[in-house]
Amino acid sequence: MTSTVTPAPVEAQPRARRVFPRRAQGATRRGRAGWFVKGALILVCFLWIVPTIGLAVTSFRTPEAALNSGWWTVITKPISDWTTANYSQVLREGGASAFLNSFAVSLPATIIPILIAAFAAYAFTFMEFPGRNVLFVTIVGLLVVPLQVALVPLLQIYGQLNLTGTFAAVWLAHAGFGMPLAIYILRGYMSTLPRGVIESAKIDGASHFQTFWRLIVPMSVPALASFAIFQFLWTWNDLLVALLFLGPGENQVLTVMVAGLVGAQQQGWQLLTAGAFISMVVPLLVFISLQRYFIRGLTAGSVKG
């Protein structure tokens, strides 16, 4: 007769406690910002924003208050002493037309280099032709040429073509000097795009023009938007080119108008600050609404592998 042996019950082993290395624990603690880092960051942000607060306060002060006391004295003043007459005066003295002129300058000066640079970047990335690398290096090398070097020759050429004082003069100047950076950014981004998609389109019989508009442009929106932000902010805030090629008058832009608000006897600081805040509205809205594309477009293509 065979006896059945019942196995003894196995006691459950206690669950091993997971032990993290001290190095990892230290890295976790170091990843949290301490009170010193937070305090220093708050201090830097405060010091950075103080001038902007001063401009905002001065733009709502009367001429007497702006000349005779500092903006920080509003703490002891009632809010009834504040006024919006400065903004009304700026708009009446040409601020509204200058605001529209800034759009008339900035939009074409942003769109023109983007269109041309996008075609050039596509050619440098996906097309083979003799001297491609040499030509690309030459164009990128133009980034080191400052705008001020070409001002006198451009004035002479514009004078011969009767372009001085027209919007076309500013468009061409900004487009020409913005083109090398646009080609560099767009070419770096397009080089990261999958070439398999391009080869598939070529096999299906798509031309370069169809491949560019239907495939490359939709996939390059972050890079296009990042350069559009950069170029728009540059042309909107520009004073030198607009002052030389447009000057004061009916075609003056907002920066030229704001620069002329302060009188010869240093009067009108409250108008200057009001005009400055009017000119800041559009760049802030553009950057805040499109800032997610700005970083993506600039960093794409910087690291490969």
Residue 304 has what pLDDT? 47
Domain count, the chain: 1
Q: Which residues of the chain have pLDDT under 50?
A: 1-2, 10, 20, 23-28, 264-265, 301-305
**Lookup: tokens for 257:** 């108008």
Whether residue 272 contacts residue 183, with contact meaning beta carbons closer than 8 Å, is answered with no
Rg, the chain, Cα only: 30
Does a structural domain hold residue 31? Answer: no
**Rounded to whole angstroms, what are the CA distances from 200 to 83, 197, 217?**
64, 5, 16
Secondary structure class of 211 (helix, strand, coil): helix
Q: What's the CA angle centered on 152, arms 149 and 154, to 5 degrees? A: 95
Does a structural domain hold residue 88? Answer: yes
Instruction: Quickly list H helices, 16-166.
Output: 22-31, 35-58, 63-68, 85-90, 96-126, 132-141, 151-161
Residue 105 has what pLDDT? 92
Span 80-120, pLDDT tens digits:
668 888 888 888 877 788 889 999 999 999 999 999 999 99
What secondary structure letter does DSSP report for 302? Answer: S
What's the CA gap between 278 and 285, in Å, rounded?
A: 12
Report the candidate in 221, 218, 219, 236 with the shortest Cα–Cα distance to residue 287.
Answer: 236
Enclosing domain of residue 252: 83-299
CATH number, residue 96? 1.10.3720.10
Q: Any residues with CB less than 8 A from the CB of 295 and at least 6 apart, and which?
A: 226
Does a structural domain hold residue 14? Answer: no
Residue 11 has what pLDDT? 52
Which residue type, as a one-letter code, is found at position 260? Answer: G
Span 195-228, pLDDT tens digits:
888 888 888 888 888 888 888 888 888 888 888 8
Does a structural domain hold residue 42? Answer: no
Query: In this structure, which long-range contacts are made by residues 92-98, counting pairs with CB atoms below 8 Å and at least 24 apart in sequence?
Result: 93/257, 93/261, 93/271, 94/252, 94/257, 95/254, 95/257, 95/275, 95/278, 97/250, 98/252, 98/253, 98/254, 98/256, 98/257
**Lookup: tokens for 49:** 């924003």
Span 179-193, pLDDT tens digits:
988 998 889 888 888
- Full-model pTM: 0.75
What's the CA gap between 302 and 305, in Å, rounded?
A: 10
Does a structural domain hold residue 28? Answer: no
Q: What's the CA angle centered on 113, arms 109 and 114, to 5 degrees? A: 110
Report the candidate in 173, 208, 186, 215 with the shortest Cα–Cα distance to residue 115.
Answer: 186
Residue 1 has what pLDDT? 47
Does a structural domain hold residue 255? Answer: yes
Does a structural domain hold residue 77? Answer: no
What's the CA gap between 172 and 155, in Å, rounded?
A: 12
Does a structural domain hold residue 173? Answer: yes
The number of angstroms, rounded, from the C-alpha of 76 to the middle of its chain's C-alpha atoms is 38
Secondary structure class of 21 (helix, strand, coil): coil
